[in-house]
Amino acid sequence: EDKVVQSPLSLVVHEGDTVTLNCSYEVTNFRSLLWYKQEKKAPTFLFMLTSSGIEKKSGRLSSILDKKELFSILNITATQTGDSAVYLCAVRKTGGTSYGKLTFGQGTILTVHP
């Protein structure tokens, strides 16, 4: 059975702190790993990672994938209260009837205090 496990499950920090969110996975026919940010509504896309060792960056957020060790991290530097959200990691498979399906981790709840 496919598994996507995120840690920590929740994190409370102060503005300006740097956080690292973890996502490990065990899936057959891995294609890509995606990070999403979910506030009160549906998730918004952050990154899609398909190759090991290549960092993706967007402002204060960055992410990297290690396909050998089967994990990814999402870093947020100089956190702001607006970063408070649930961060979801999802893995997409390839091939057969599983093509395109996303398996989500349980999410990390990040709370940033002023």
Partner 1 sequence: GAVVSQHPSRVICKSGTSVKIECRSLDFQATTMFWYRQFPKQSLMLMATSNEGSKATYEQGVEKDKFLINHASLTLSTLTVTSAHPEDSSFYICSGGWGPGETQYFGPGTRLLVL
Whether the CB-CB separation of 3 and 23 falls below 8 Å is answered with: no
Judged by CB under 8 A, the chain residues 42 through 61 that form the site for partner 1 are 42-45, 48
Cβ nearer to partner 1, comparing 75 with 94: 94
Nearer to partner 1, 18 or 50 (CB): 50
Q: Which of 76, 92, 110, 112 binds partner 1 (CB under 8 A)?
A: 92
Q: Which of 59, 82, 96, 100 binds partner 1 (CB under 8 A)?
A: 100
Q: How far apart are CA 16 and CA 68, in angstroms?
A: 32
Among the listed ranges 12-20, 29-37, 57-65, 69-77, the one in contact with partner 1 (CB under 8 A) is: 29-37
The secondary structure of residue 46, as a DSSP letter, is E
Strands 85-93 and 102-104: antiparallel
Q: Are 2 and 27 spatial neighbours (Cβ–Cβ below 8 Å)?
A: yes
Dist CA 18 CA 30 (whole Å): 29
Decide whether 59 or 114 has the Cβ nearer to partner 1: 59
Residue 102 contacts residue 92 (beta carbons within 8 Å): yes
Q: Which residues bind partner 1 (CB under 8 A)?
A: 31, 34, 36, 41-45, 48, 88, 90, 92, 94, 97, 99-107
